[in-house]
């Protein structure tokens, strides 16, 4: 129905922009001044020795990138690797948790059940990152909910190290980013015709085989898009690793904050920022490609 | 179909599937519920199980001038961001959906990109720009930064509504002699209002809960609530944070209910 409308509209539409197009101007102004230009400034800062505006002695240099690449301090490569590792583990676990939820919700026939489950998924999304990280700190710390409960039951005698390490970081990150995975997957799984799976089953395939051979391959674009989104979000997380990771975890965003806050080296922070940006840009481009293909199939832009 | 499923006798696989999903939903919701427990638990440090119910942490939160100043700053910034992002994002959505612009797919992706790029980098880039421009870290700079992050949300909800409604309603009004201005105010605007409004509500929450973008853009003594909470949490983990969190959560919850009333949550899932 909407596909036909769209096609009809495309056919009659002229190629000249209409006066309504001018409404884009404020957004363009905002994005040029506060998005494109600042990122350009960040790139410029990363190749200067100091502030190029008010410091006449500032000169062009690649030393910030050299500092990162040669890594004589031995922390930057570890931080990059830790960032990617935490991102990858968070993504995989989010997928394992998010897929069953999304599949369940997409196939749910009860409207009320769907609305309730959706509220449960969106509610954490609308709770700030700082608040959700606080919640996990109260659960995972030495005197937190899990440790005190296990000790009072006599299961353990001293607290398990659940926090101030990568484990705690990943648990909290997964909780924060699973809703993004679920929301991406619901749409994709919901568009897969349920009758395909039923046909496979009536032809003798078991429930598992019908899922693995029909539904799973068809939902692959959603899996990719959701995974890229969660990966991009979790490698740029700052609050959660810095509060949950303690001294055990050092990620790229934490390094950047250190350079700005304690070392006051905005130029090196810029170089680290460009490194993180490049990693993210690759992911964003892949994500947009997949989404474009997805919506292309639906005849929607 | 569902009736046929219900007629079947007990199905262990289906029951396990249901149980698994309920556990997963609990994983999402329990941490938030636990905040309520600690907000009401009167012990001086976070401890479990709770020993009673008191409002002392709420009193501490509302009596602290640091928290209150931060709360008011956050509310003020979020209100400005709401207005700005609704105007800018709503106009941008109209231009993208109705303006016949070349390269629409690219433009849409471009205006959505602040959501995909690390927010901490947006904060860093703006921090460096304000540094080079020598303007310090003014509140309006923070508001513009939040607006940049909020516009994609308004854009997304408004575009969803614009795609869903029948373009021929506008064409019919125009064919019946309505001027383009009248078509806009009497047809288009009322129809897209739920989407714009829902986007604005999102924008408010995104700004109110914003941390990574704010981190480098606030000055000491004039910090937003999430930044104050974060700094407090690094040293103290007591019920005041839980009480502050509760205030934020209640705000978010009322937003979800308002949204459900306005256009129904289902509209978001189609995105």
Residue B265: Cβ within 10 Å count: 17
Domains by residue range for chain B, with CATH: 63-269 (1.10.3720.10)
Mean pLDDT of chain A: 85
Contact status, residue A91 vs residue A227, Cβ threshold 8 Å: yes
Which has the higher per-residue pLDDT, A85 or A54?
A85
Task: Measure A285 CA to nearest chain B CA, in Å.
Answer: 10
* Closest to B14 in 3D by CA, of A104, A260, A65: A104
Q: Say if the Cβ atoms of A122 and B38 lie within 8 Å.
A: no
pLDDT of the residue at A11: 47
Residue A292: Cβ within 10 Å count: 15
Task: Measure A189 CA to nearest chain B CA, in Å.
Answer: 11
Task: Measure B124 CA to nearest chain A CA, in Å.
Answer: 8
Separation between Cα atoms, residue B18 and residue B55, nearest integer Å: 38
Q: Say if the Cβ atoms of A238 and B212 lie within 8 Å.
A: yes
A-chain residue closest to B151, CA distance: A27
DSSP conformational letter for B209: T
Q: Say if the Cβ atoms of B124 and A256 lie within 8 Å.
A: yes
Residues 264-293 of A with CB under 8 A from B: 266, 269-270, 273, 276-277, 280-281, 283-284, 287-288, 292
Domains by residue range for chain A, with CATH: 75-298 (1.10.3720.10)
Contact status, residue A301 vs residue B104, Cβ threshold 8 Å: yes
Q: Say if the Cβ atoms of B13 and A178 lie within 8 Å.
A: no
Contact status, residue A251 vs residue A83, Cβ threshold 8 Å: yes
**Which of B118, B208, B229, B231 to mutate against chain A (most A CBs within 10 Å)?**
B118
Q: What is the ipTM of this complex?
A: 0.83
CA atoms within 13 A on the CB side of B167: 18
| pLDDT tens sequence for chain B (271 residues) | 444 445 556 778 888 888 999 999 999 989 888 888 888 888 777 777 777 888 888 998 999 999 999 999 999 999 899 999 999 999 999 999 888 888 888 899 899 888 878 899 999 999 999 999 988 899 999 999 999 999 998 998 888 888 777 778 888 888 888 888 888 888 888 888 878 887 888 888 889 989 999 999 998 888 999 999 999 988 888 888 889 888 887 876 776 677 666 655 555 444 3
Confidence of residue A95 (pLDDT cuts 50, 70, 90): very high
B-chain residue closest to A299, CA distance: B163
Question: Which of B108, B230, B241 is closest, CB to CB, to A239?
Answer: B230
pLDDT of the residue at B4: 47
């Amino acid at each position: 129905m909407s596909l036909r409308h769209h096609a009809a509209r495309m056919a009659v539409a002229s190629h000249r922009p209409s006066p309504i197009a001018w409404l884009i101007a404020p957004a363009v102004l905002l994005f040029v001044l506060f998005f494109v230009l600042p990122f350009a400034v960040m790139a410029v800062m990363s190749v200067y020795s100091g502030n190029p505006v008010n410091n006449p002695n500032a000169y062009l240099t690649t030393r910030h990138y050299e500092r990162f690449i040669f890594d004589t301090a031995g922390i930057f490569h570890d931080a990059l690797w830790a960032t990617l590792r935490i991102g990858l583990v968070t993504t995989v676990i989010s997928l394992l948790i998010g897929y069953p939820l999304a599949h369940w919700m997409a196939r749910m026939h009860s409207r009320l059940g769907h609305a309730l489950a959706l509220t449960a998924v969106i509610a954490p999304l609308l709770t700030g990152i700082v608040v959700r990280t606080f919640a996990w700190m109260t659960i995972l710390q030495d005197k937190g909910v899990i440790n005190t409960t296990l000790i009072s039951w006599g299961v353990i005698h001293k607290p398990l190290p659940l926090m101030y390490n990568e484990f705690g970081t990943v648990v909290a990150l997964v909780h924060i980013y699973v809703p993004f995975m679920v929301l991406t997957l619901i749409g994709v799984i919901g568009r897969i015709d349920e009758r395909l799976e039923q046909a496979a089953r009536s032809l003798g395939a078991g429930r598992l085989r019908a899922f693995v051979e029909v539904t799973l391959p068809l939902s692959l674009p959603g899996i990719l898009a959701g995974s890229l989104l969660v990966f991009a979000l979790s490698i740029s997380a700052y609050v959660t690793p810095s509060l949950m990771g303690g001294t055990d975890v050092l990620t790229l965003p934490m390094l950047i904050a250190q350079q700005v806050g304690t070392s006051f080296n905005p130029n090196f922070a810029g170089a680290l920022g460009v490194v993180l940006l490049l990693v993210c840009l690759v992911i964003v481009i892949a994500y947009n490609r997949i989404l474009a293909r997805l919506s292309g199939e639906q005849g929607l832009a | 179909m569902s009736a046929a499923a219900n007629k079947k006798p007990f199905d262990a696989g289906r029951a396990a599937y249901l149980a698994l999903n309920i556990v997963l939903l609990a994983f999402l919701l329990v941490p938030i519920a636990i905040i309520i427990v600690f907000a009401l638990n009167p012990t001086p440090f976070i401890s479990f199980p709770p020993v009673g119910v008191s409002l002392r942490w709420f009193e501490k939160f509302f009596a602290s001038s640091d928290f209150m100043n931060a709360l008011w700053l956050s509310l003020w910034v979020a209100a400005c961001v709401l207005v700005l992002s609704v105007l800018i994002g709503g106009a941008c959505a109209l231009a993208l959906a109705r303006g016949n612009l070349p390269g629409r797919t690219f433009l849409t992706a471009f205006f959505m990109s602040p959501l995909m790029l690390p927010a901490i980098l947006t904060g860093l880039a703006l921090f460096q720009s304000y540094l080079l421009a020598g303007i310090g870290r003014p509140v309006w700079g923070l508001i513009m930064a939040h607006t940049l992050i909020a516009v994609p949300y308004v854009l997304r909800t408004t575009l969803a509504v614009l795609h869903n409604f029948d373009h021929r309603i506008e064409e019919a009004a125009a064919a019946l002699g309505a001027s383009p201005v009248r078509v806009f105010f009497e047809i288009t605007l009322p129809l897209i209002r739920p989407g714009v409004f829902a986007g604005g509500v999102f924008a408010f929450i995104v700004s109110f809960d914003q941390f990574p973008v704010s981190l480098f853009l606030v000055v000491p003594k004039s910090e937003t609530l999430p930044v104050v909470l974060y700094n407090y949490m690094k040293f103290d983990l007591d019920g005041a944070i839980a009480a502050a969190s509760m205030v934020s959560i209640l705000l978010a919850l009322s937003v979800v209910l308002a949204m459900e009333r306005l256009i129904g949550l289902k509209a978001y899932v189609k995105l």
